[in-house]
Amino acid sequence: MARTRLLYYSPAGVTLYQWRAGVLSEEARFELSDAGLARFADHCAVLRSGIVHVLLDVVEEAFHIDTIPFVRGADRRALLQRRLAQRYRDTALSTAISLGYERSMRREERVLLSAFTNAADIQPWLQALEHEEVPVSGVYSPAVLAHQLARKLKFSKPSMLLVGFHAGGVRQTYLRRGRAEFSRLNPLAAEDIGDGAAITAALERETDRLFKYLRNIHTHLEGEQTDAIVITPPGQTQRMHGFSTDTSVQLRMQLIDQHTAAKRIGLKQAPPNAGIEALFLHMLALRRPSHQYAPAAIRASYGVRAWQIGLTAGGAAICAACLFAAGVQFLQTWQMEGEIDADRERIALANARYEAITTTFPPLPTSLENLRAVLEQYDAIERASRGPGDMMIAISRALDRTPQVLLDRFDWKVRNDADGLWEVVELTASLPDVARTDLRVIDQISQNLAHILREQPGLEVSGVQLPFDLDSLRTAQSGERTTETDRSPRIRLTVSRKIDA
């Protein structure tokens, strides 16, 4: 994890902080002079290993609300750059923040143009960082962090003032709909710094003054109450309870002690001499705002560092996920091996019991498996086999009861179909005592024979075929041709019986 450093630039000097898990500690302090800059440049070499966030807390910070036509992409970027250049002489440290769109037909966009107007004083410090290729995430102002801080303090209002005493003086930020629209730092006289009463008086005076100014330029503030959150120096809250200004009727004051505020936002420890800039620095370390002031050149090393961290972290994350998945897989496999061992034991046990049982057997003529197979196959053969004898006896009994019928042909076979095994007899018989022309008698004898056959257990009779067709659905025709020597009519029947396999 890259070390997080915060560079705080204010009229009082430049302070380098380290931040880790909510603890802010001072690493080095540099005075605003050539000597201080030189010392800082020397110190920059050690900053390469971490990431540096720069917070500029200076008086020379300008804000201007403008409107631009509805454009997107590169056109918008070019237009904003042009507007910034028109507005500010030096745009080296500048930014444009969208404030939303006008509810008009043209849908013009409201933007806050902001810049540090004394970039020339700050640039050498940033160039020292750039020269040493220190990864700088960006240059920020308390204004762009103010909403984040107010929200963390649970004081977020649609229209509000955030006021507090910084190392360089009194900082006031006007927030509207979650965006800073104005911010300024009023430096205190050197003799007032450290004097609680003077600071309190300054907070009171400057808040009143700013609100009057805002009321002049923002007419909507005229008739409505505005919240003002004042973060007081440690131990000064009680003193400020009598806080009363000319505008106090419209300003709804809420006071919060700096230590209480620090606790609420999760800042565990800060240097004792740090003002509420410590709160802003903590917010910056926790989460960078989407808007910052630095040009791309200063942030180049940060981009590379971000890629380096991203690649390494991504690779490590993928590796960890894969190792975890592989671990889970190994665990499951290990459990599976346990099951295999258990199965092996059961096989050994079954084999041992098998051996124990077979030793009690008499001498076998073959292997136990083949003994079983031979008997099973023989049983299957026996079950599927039938001789024609039973069917012959059954048919003989029927013929005994129909003396007019003389058996000509008995055709027996075993049929294997989807229903199972059947023994089927095609029976051909003649009626010697019946005239060929006596169709009604032939039919009656045939039906009688079929009826008697059906009385036998399991016998089914189908396909009774007479010498002529009586089926209404077929054309009637005479029976088979006969010779002079064979004048008796013939009938055919199919008799079947299921073999119980």
Partner 1 sequence: MKRALKKLAAPGALALLLVAIGGGAIIGAQSFADEVQRERRQIASERAAAEQKLARVQHEATEIDRRVAQYQSLERRGVLAEESRLDWIEALDRAKTAAGLHDVRYAFAAQQTLDDTGEVLTRSSLVTVQGKAGHEGHFMRFLHALPREMAPYVSFQTCTLTRGSAPLSGDGLRTECQVALLTLADPQRGRSGQ
Q: How far apart are CA 164 and CA 176, in angstroms?
A: 18
DSSP letter (8 states) at residue 362? P
Indicate the residue among 41 and 406 with the shorter CB distance to partner 1. Answer: 406
Indicate the residue among 80 and 294 with the shorter CB distance to partner 1. Answer: 294
Q: Judging by DSSP bridges, how do beta strands 406-417 and 420-430 pair with one another?
A: antiparallel
| Distance in Å, CB of 380 to partner 1, minimum | 9
Indicate the residue among 362 and 403 with the shorter CB distance to partner 1. Answer: 362
| Distance in Å, CB of 275 to partner 1, minimum | 38
Indicate the residue among 33 and 351 with the shorter CB distance to partner 1. Answer: 351
Separation of CA 50 from chain center: 32
Indicate the residue among 269 and 312 with the shorter CB distance to partner 1. Answer: 312
Q: How far apart are CA 399 and CA 412, in angstroms?
A: 16
Q: How far apart are CA 132 and CA 49, in angstroms?
A: 11
| Distance in Å, CB of 427 to partner 1, minimum | 10
Residues 14, 30: contact at Cβ < 8 Å?
A: yes
Indicate the residue among 217 and 393 with the shorter CB distance to partner 1. Answer: 393
| Distance in Å, CB of 124 to partner 1, minimum | 23
| Distance in Å, CB of 375 to partner 1, minimum | 6
Q: How far apart are CA 449 and CA 484, in angstroms?
A: 27
DSSP symbols for 416-480: EETTEEEEEEEEEEE-TTS-TT-HHHHHHHHHHHHHHHHHSTT-EEEEEE-SS---TTS------
Q: How far apart are CA 260 and CA 235, in angstroms?
A: 10
| Distance in Å, CB of 390 to partner 1, minimum | 10
| Distance in Å, CB of 462 to partner 1, minimum | 19
Indicate the residue among 11 and 295 with the shorter CB distance to partner 1. Answer: 295
Q: How far apart are CA 217 and CA 196, in angstroms?
A: 32
| Distance in Å, CB of 314 to partner 1, minimum | 6
Q: How far apart are CA 18 and CA 148, in angstroms?
A: 21
Indicate the residue among 271 and 314 with the shorter CB distance to partner 1. Answer: 314
3-class DSSP assignment, residue 276: coil
DSSP letter (8 states) at residue 203? H
Indicate the residue among 18 and 127 with the shorter CB distance to partner 1. Answer: 127
Indicate the residue among 217 and 319 with the shorter CB distance to partner 1. Answer: 319
| Distance in Å, CB of 480 to partner 1, minimum | 16
DSSP symbols for 187-200: EPPTTTTT-HHHHH
Q: Which residue has the tokens 């917070």?
A: 55
Q: Judging by DSSP bridges, how do beta strands 23-30 and 13-20 pair with one another?
A: antiparallel
| Distance in Å, CB of 441 to partner 1, minimum | 22
Between the alpha carbon of residue 102 and those of residues 108, 110, 161, 204, 283, the distances in Å are 5, 7, 23, 35, 31
